[in-house]
Structure 1
Amino acid sequence: MLRIEGLEAAYGESRILFGIDFDVEAGEVVTLLGRNGMGKTTTVRSIFGLLKPTGGRVMVDGEDVTGKEPHLIARGGLGLVPEGRQIFPTLTVEENLVATHRASATSHWDLPAVYRLFPRLKERRRNHGDQISGGEQQMLAVGRALMTNPRLVVLDEATEGLAPLIREEIWTCLAAIKNEGAAILVIDKNVEALSRFADRHVVIEKGRVAWTGTTEELRASPDVKDRFLHV
């Protein structure tokens, strides 16, 4: 569904990505792993057109969307849960969700579906975005992305700064999203939790793909964690 070919990106004169290659198939969960500052968020920004790539291609279902406007890329079936959540603080929880709803003939995600996935959001539906906890804001960010009815959900730092119980709730919900048939590309530091439901892993080191493999291969390769993931 998503194919990244030789992706290059820079901030001014500072090159960050040096030919990133990976793909995400329909219904698959792929993680993007690596230490801070290795290029993971830059990769996501380049995929969504928030940063114009300087080289390579971003393909969605065989269509080249490299450098297109973010709203056009999103309409191609990609939903983003950005780093820092970036919810609308002056809108209610329900208004945040409705604001991004995009229906289609094959739509699955609507308010009742999101509320079933995150009952706490239904309880807080009349609260403004800045009146709910960080964990609830992350649930809202995920729900807001789902309301676009994407075929691929991309999460940048899915559980950063969240309490352990909230992290587990997010992991459970991501597994449920996978079971509904959506593909997922997720960035997070909790490798063991990710490995419970992820199919493949892509490790980025200094703007390049340093390793890729299945969950079984990652578990069998402790040297990968030691070399590329541990601080």
Structure 2
Amino acid sequence: MLALEVQGLTAGYGPVTVLRGVDFRAEPGQIICLMGRNGVGKSTFLKALMGFLPVASGTILLDGMPLHGLPAHDIPKRGLAYVPQGRRLFGPLTVAENLAVGGLVRGNDSATLDHVLTLFPRLRERLTQIAGTLSGGEQQMLAIARALCLRPKVLLLDEPTEGLQPSMIALIQDAVRTLKAEGVAVVLVEQRVDAVLKLADRVAFMVAGRIEEVMPVKDLSPDADVFRTYVGV
């Protein structure tokens, strides 16, 4: 089974090294959560996967094909999609226009758009609404939907439920479970232990720019020592 496989990844910002020999693997049809204290490199890792940061050393393979060294605009074409923390929508554009931007790589076919709107039916009702006027939860749905217009093999989500009300969190978690069932590999940065235990198949704990430990969720409980050790909760 092919997957996203990272070996020995070192990267950072200019002279500052943040990621130090990261080894990581995301499997099709599984959700792997990336946890760790603030500043350990979780968001930096996602940015490096997407080509936003130069890779100093190491490899990034998707289905056996190298992504490291590719320009950032080519990586989505290979099947990697990214929803950053803070959403970064085109606020003045409509919902439909934001989705069209997301679909440019794949040619904006109607079947993909219909699939995305079936996953997030609330967006179907708001296609003509300006994105900047949506609620926070609806904006997060749109950010995920825009990424899914790429028809990705791997979806990277950076704290997608941060600051949202429980009903919106539940809707987004349901969508992520559906993607898992469809065979998408989901890499989720998440700090809330309850959410991780509900969603994830495995948890990768990051410390100081390295993956220190990877554990199956079935071996974890809410009061497991690893959460206190690596996340501080």
Q: Tell me how far 1:221 sits from its aligned partner.
A: 7.5
- The count of corresponding residues between Structure 1 and Structure 2 is 229
Contact kept in structure 2, 1:46 and 1:67, CA below 8 Å: no
SS of the residue aligned with 1:174?
Answer: helix
Cα shift at 1:132: 0.6
CA-CA distance at 1:35 after TM superposition: 1.3
Distance (Å, rounded) in 2 between the aligned partners of 1:94 and 1:153: 21
SS at match of 2:32: strand
Counterpart CA distance in 2 for 1:197 and 1:108 is 29
1:25 Cα deviation after fit = 1.6
The 3 A distance-change label for structure 1 pair 221 and 64 is farther
Alignment match of 1:7 (pick from 9, 19, 31): 9
**1:132 is the counterpart of 2:134:** yes
> Aligned letter for 2:167?
L
**TM-score, with length taken from structure 1:** 0.93
Post-superposition, which runs of at least 4 consecutive aligned residues in structure 1 deviate over 4 A?
Answer: none
- What is the CA–CA distance in structure 1 between the aligned matches of 2:199 and 2:106, rounded to whole Å? 28
SS of the equivalent of 2:55 reads coil
State, as a whole percentage, how many aligned pairs show the same letter.
38
Return the letter of the residue paired with 1:228: Y
Give unmatched runs, 5+ long, in structure 2. Answer: none
Q: CA offsets, 1:200-221, max 9 Å, x none?
A: 1111011111211111123387
Q: Of 84, 107, 113, which aligns to 1:111?
A: 113
Tell me by how many angstroms 1:195 deviates.
Answer: 2.2
Going from structure 1 to structure 2, the CA distance change for 1:220 and 1:156 (only over 3 Å counts) comes to: closer
1:62 corresponds to 2:78: no
- 67, 70, 73: which one pairs with 1:71? 73
Distance in 1, matches of 2:52 and 2:135, equals 27
In structure 2, what is the Cα distance between the partners aligned to 1:214 and 1:6?
A: 22
Q: Which residue of 2 aligns with 1:194?
A: 196
1:143: which partner in 2? 145
- Which structure 1 residue ranges, 5 or more long, are not aligned? none
On the 8 A contact 2:193/2:222 being kept in 1, the answer is no
Question: What SS does the corresponding residue of 1:55 show, helix, strand or coil?
Answer: strand
Contact 1:7-1:55 at 8 Å conserved across structures: yes
TM-score, normalised relative to structure 2: 0.92
**Post-superposition offset of 1:180:** 1.6
- Secondary structure of the residue aligned to 1:58 is strand
**Cα 1:153/1:109, change in 2 over 3 Å:** farther
What displacement does 1:109 show? Answer: 5.9
Secondary structure in 2 matching 1:143: helix
Q: What is the aligned counterpart of 2:184 among 182, 185, 204? A: 182
